[in-house]
Chains A and B, each alone.
Chain A
Amino acid sequence: MQQVTSASKPGRRLWKSIVLHRYLYFMLLPCIAFFIIFSYIPMGGLLLAFKEYKFNKGLLASPWVGFDYFKAFFNSYQSKALIKNTLIISSMKLFLYLPFPIILALMFNEIRSKWFKNVSQSILYLPHFLSWVVVIGLVQRVLAPDTGLLNQFIAKLGGDGSKFYMMEPNSFYQIMFGSHLWKSLGWDSIIYMAAIAGVNPDMYEAAKIDGASKFKEIWNITLPSIMPTVVILFILSLGNILSAGFDQLYLLRTPGNMQLSDILDTYIIRVGLQGGQYGYATAVGMLQGLIGLILVIIANRISRKVSDTSLW
């Protein structure tokens, strides 16, 4: 009897708390409903990765095929190249790209002219609102052989000016990274600027009194202060390590750079969905998610051990 009473106590306490803060909980309801409807229920579709979908039987009644799709993917001659390409591109976007928005945020923080700051921020945020179709269209025009801006500039300097950059495998990573940087840099710096704004100004005052230079202030105060934000965002980004960005890569892909630009996302669309193989596409997509989840868990554990920052 004693046990039952003690077991029911936390439940009763929770219930009392819910009743007490009922309006707050009520406000939470739409959010919970949203996630259940749009995030958790669709997860049931992952069953497709293990089923041979029959139009007339539906998802649940279709026969199981076990790990056939996963085996088929790993047996495919393309799987190694696809995984390799995906990892290279996403790693570039994850590791190589990481310092750029931080540096930009630090630079913005040091601009004293409000007018110049506003104008330059607006200019740098703008590309975020352009679709990849427009951005890649611009890239193609700028890099076009003979008629492109870059080639014409090279020709003016006495060069050949006929290089077809979009067809050159050697230029692919630069184009991919450059266009990603151009489009995302400004927008991604916002969150770091918010973190910088949260740094206690007293620390800067104290540093100044101690004779710290601007660089020392940034290195010893700003960067350590925003480090938790950087780590959290990095851990979250790891979840997408096998999703290198479909839109950009799909549009950048040409016969010339295809051995570098073909990634899992484009493969899923091309072979899985356009080929009508939903199960196969689901299996490959599920792999992306699973590997991302495992990496997030590992990175979170490491981060918790070596620093005080972690997701949970």
Chain B
Amino acid sequence: MSRKWMKFMALPVMAAMLVTGCSNNNGNNASNDQASDGANGGTNNAAATNAAANATDGKPATWIADRTIKGLIFMDSDDYTEDMNPEIKAEIQKRTGINFEFELMKADHSIDGLIAGLAAGDLPDFVAFYLNNSGRPEMPVVLKAAREGMFTDLTPLFKDTKVFSKYLQDDFLPSDTKNGVMFRPEFNGSTYFTHMNIDRNGGQVTWRGVGGPYIRKDIADQLGVDPLSIKTTDQLYELAKKIKDGNFKDDNGAPVTPIGPRFWGGREVGALFNDLEWGADDQRIKQTKDGKILHEAQTDYAMKKVEYVQKLLKEKLIHPEFFTMDESRSTEGAINGTWGIIADMHSYQDFNQNMRYVPLSPINQVDGPYQKVVSFKSGYSAWAIPSTTEKPEDIVKFADYLASREGKLLWKYGLEGRDYTLDANGNPVVKQEVIDLKAQDPNAAKALGFAGVGNNWGDILGSTDNDNKADFGEVNYGDNASANQFPAVEKIAEMYGLDQQIKDARVVDAYQPTAFLGEFANGTELKTAFDTYNDSLVQAYYSKSADEAKKILDSALKQMEAAGLDDYLKLLADKNADPKTKVLVE
């Protein structure tokens, strides 16, 4: 066949392929439009198939390189399993050429492992670590490593990517990620770590769970109390007294404790004492109405809260080990119905899908009625490429693949046919047998090797630009299968008025007040003094008198002042005045 004829034949074939490609895409409903939008970085399954067909040299378009990429993960989570499922691993290699391996470096504290790993200097192709925000303890460590030339500049490598190139846009990253973590002014446009788990859209609330204090529904019903009417700590006190007087019993016939600890173990719980809490319970820094930034110890609220907790303890309305109880005991108490009120849990807890516990209303704040605060976006965990890694662009391309819709489908849902099918809209419908296996034998399910069954290897490099609803037509894994894994979640959300709260929420894009400790000269001392204050507060709860409690808190305040509290608060005021570094103090 002559070349001329070849050209004539090729034209209609190309046109037919184009039409076929378009009609496949058009078959998707509106919910999938975003996913197929190239600007969003998502490529739906049909598009991926076409891409594969268009590939040259017999390799798919997603091909990166024939190499092994090895990572070292400084995270102590059980969500990652080094032994990847062989079929998933083979599929990754088939699509990208990459033989992906990683090693978990578990330590009592993940930061210990990170420091040891960096100090040893023998690093693989990439490292990953926890990094909630620039105030996290890992930040000074990785910052030091970056300043000392340990990591590769990722900015030029992001330019040619589909998903991570969004990190270079002005409005994609939240302020802290952009100016505090990644593109710090000192780096002059370079970046050495990739902050992960950034949502595609700002102010997006995809989690349908309701967190906070819960009350046993039968107790609330018997007392004739509407849980959503409890909006102050005074009302909470009265409710606790009623529970005590009601002589309720748990599943074992033991008396119910009116207020029990968190589901996950004892500690301070801000949500239970909002109207006595100055700032978030892990920060304790907030601005007064006249604009002065103060630490809780510098306000009257500390003593008010001490007096309140002492009253609860004295009258046996709160469990005496509320602040220290280990997780197994507090969880057991929740499951047995021993706590009339659970200080903190959420609606996805398996044990509560029969809605034995229902949420209390959020307690008002110190300066007015409760209003939900939603982060514009927030980051979680990060990865970096050591400067010793050859061809770092391969790692960035691989991360970009995992962050694409096709990549996410693989590491979130597993293999088509084996673990899920696609519905008419191209969205995954999880197979019932996978859901059953997950319920009956979670470890066997985890061996299938993807996030939906609890094996989250893919989110290390791929979880960002997240919008499950747009990408997969469901917010949570398995929703499309109507598997009803968490029947209580939507009911509780509705009862709680979650949608209205989200609608009324204040969206903020700001730094946490402790985010600047790393750049504060006396940061380590002050951090220790903050921790000591937290302990002192609990100590004060258990003191014999108000005077003794006052002495304990005053001593903790003096320690914080000696460690530079006033200078730090001034630094916060300066940062807050800069639009690039707004601080969450309101």
Contacts and interface: CB of A to CB of B under 8 A. Distances in A.
Contact of A275 (B150, B316, B324, B527): B527
Interface string A265-286: 0000011011111100000000
Contact of B321 (A55, A57, A78, A144): A144
Contact of A255 (B137, B144, B323): B323
A278 B119 contact: yes
Contacts of B31: none
Interface in A54-94: 54-58, 76-78
A273 B112 contact: yes
Contacts of B29: none
Interface stretch (A162-170, A195-203, A213-221, A223-231): A162-170
Interface in B93-125: 109, 111-112, 115, 118-119, 121
Interface in B150-179: 150
Nearest to B254: A147
A258 interface: yes
Interface in A150-200: 162, 164, 166-168
A53 B536 contact: no
Does more than half of chain B's interface fall in helix, strand or loop, or is it mixed? helix
A146 B313 CA distance: 12
A274 B109 contact: yes
A274 B324 CA distance: 21
B563 interface: yes
B535 A55 contact: no
A271 B522 CA distance: 13
Contact of B111 (A166, A258, A271, A274): A274
A254 interface: yes
B54 interface: no
A245 interface: no
A58 B150 CA distance: 12
B320 A55 contact: no
A55 B539 contact: no
A101 interface: no
A254 B321 CA distance: 11
A258 B109 CA distance: 21
A145 interface: yes
B24 interface: no
Contacts of A144: 321
Given A78-B528, A164-B320, A276 B538 contact: no
A289 interface: no
A75 to B, nearest CB: 9
A271 B534 CA distance: 16
B33 interface: no
Contacts of B119: 53, 55, 278
B525 interface: yes
Interface in B532-569: 532, 534-539, 542, 559, 562-563
Nearest to B534: A255
A146 B150 contact: no
Interface residues of B, number: 35
Interface in B304-336: 316, 320-321, 323-324
B145 interface: yes
B140 to A, nearest CB: 6
A255 B324 CA distance: 9
A275 B321 contact: no
A310 B524 CA distance: 44
A255 B528 contact: no
B323 to A, nearest CB: 7
Contact of B538 (A77, A146, A256, A274): A256
A146 B329 CA distance: 15
B528 A270 contact: yes
Contacts of A164: 320-321, 542
A55 B542 contact: no
A255 B148 contact: no
Contacts of B150: 55-56
A277 B141 CA distance: 9
B516 to A, nearest CB: 16
B185 interface: no
A298 B409 CA distance: 70
B38 interface: no
A274 B144 contact: no
B535 A258 contact: yes
Contacts of B112: 273-274
Contact of A76 (B141, B316, B525, B538): B525
Contacts of B109: 274
Nearest to A270: B528
Contacts of B111: 274, 276
A216 B538 CA distance: 54
A77 B115 contact: no
B148 A146 contact: no
Greatest chain B CB density within 10 A among A55, A77, A164, A258 is at A55
Contacts of A275: 137, 524, 527
Nearest to A58: B121
B149 interface: yes
Interface string A218-261: 00000000000000000000000000000000000011101100
24 contacts: A53-B119, A55-B145, A56-B121, A56-B150, A57-B148, A58-B121, A77-B525, A77-B559, A77-B562, A77-B563, A145-B320, A166-B324, A167-B539, A255-B537, A255-B538, A255-B539, A256-B539, A258-B535, A271-B524, A271-B528, A274-B109, A274-B111, A275-B137, A278-B115
Interface of A: 53-58, 76-78, 144-146, 162, 164, 166-168, 254-256, 258-259, 270-271, 273-278
Closest 5 CB pairs of A and B: A255-B538, A255-B535, A145-B320, A56-B148, A167-B542
Given A57-B148, A167-B324, 4 more contacts: A162-B316, A162-B320, A275-B527, A277-B524
